[in-house]
């Protein structure tokens, strides 16, 4: 998929999406996306993260919210 197309759908500038994706990869210490001429595809690490994201959010979100409530 095209990052610019996804950014438009989210109503944010595409450079914001690029920066956030890069920051996420840097924080995690893994490449989540393979950059191609016609967009991005998930790497194996990206696939694993995508598959476990709902479970991870269920674990992390309540703890995160407690910090601010």
DSSP for 5-58, written as a single string:
HHHHHHTS-HHHHHHHHHHHHHHHTS--EEEETTEEEE-HHHHHHHHHHHHHHH
pLDDT of 69 > 70? The answer is no
The model's pLDDT over 45-67, given as tens digits with 9 standing for 90+, comes to 999 988 998 888 888 888 777 77
- Give the pLDDT of residue 7: 86
The model's pLDDT over 10-44, given as tens digits with 9 standing for 90+, comes to 899 989 988 988 898 998 899 999 988 877 889 99
């Amino acid at each position: 998929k095209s990052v610019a197309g996804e950014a438009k759908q989210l109503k944010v500038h595409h450079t914001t999406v690029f920066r956030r994706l890069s920051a996420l990869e840097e924080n995690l210490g893994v490449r989540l996306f393979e950059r191609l001429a016609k967009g991005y595809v998930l790497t194996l690490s990206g696939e694993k993260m995508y598959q476990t994201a709902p479970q991870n959010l269920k674990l992390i979100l309540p703890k995160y919210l407690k910090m601010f409530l």
